[in-house]
């Protein structure tokens, strides 16, 4: 995968947008680059978390790994302040 570091930043960006969208005002991110994988730890508070939004988050993050879609549409991640594109976050990582 090309531009891995940039893509990691985009993933963090998408999560921050999602957290802010649910009313977070205290978000912590911890990023670790190990020999064989990246680890991203995110913690956030929230104001309004309805079940629908949580279900959607889980659904989007479970998008199967898809290099052909990631390669074409990956640029959209972290590009919009209108809504999140967590599907892109879901399809980027190897499982």
- In the bound state with other proteins, the residue whose beta carbon lies nearer, of 2 and 39, is 2
Residue 46: closest CA among 28, 81, 19, 84: 19
- Judged by CB under 8 A, the residue of 75, 92, 93, 94 near other proteins is 75
- Alpha carbon 13 to its chain centroid, in Å, reads 7
Q: Residue 66, Cβ neighbours under 10 Å: how many?
A: 15
- Judged by CB under 8 A, the residue of 32, 68, 94, 95 near other proteins is 68
Is 36 a residue that touches other proteins (CB under 8 A)?
A: no
Interatomic CA distance for residues 41 and 43, integer angstroms: 7
Interatomic CA distance for residues 17 and 83, integer angstroms: 7
Applying CB under 8 A, the span of 18-26, 28-36, 37-45, 81-89 interacting with other proteins comes to 81-89
* Residues engaged in binding other proteins (CB under 8 A): 2, 59, 63-64, 66-69, 71-76, 79-83, 85, 87-88
């Amino acid at each position: 995968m090309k531009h891995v570091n940039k893509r990691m930043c985009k993933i963090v960006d998408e999560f921050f947008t999602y957290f802010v969208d649910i009313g977070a005002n205290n978000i912590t991110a911890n990023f670790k680059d190990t020999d064989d994988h990246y680890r991203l730890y995110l913690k956030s508070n929230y104001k309004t978390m309805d079940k629908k939004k949580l279900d959607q988050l889980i659904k989007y993050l479970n998008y199967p790994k898809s290099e052909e879609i990631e390669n074409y549409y990956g640029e959209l991640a972290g590009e919009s302040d209108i809504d999140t594109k967590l599907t892109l976050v879901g399809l980027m990582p190897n499982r």
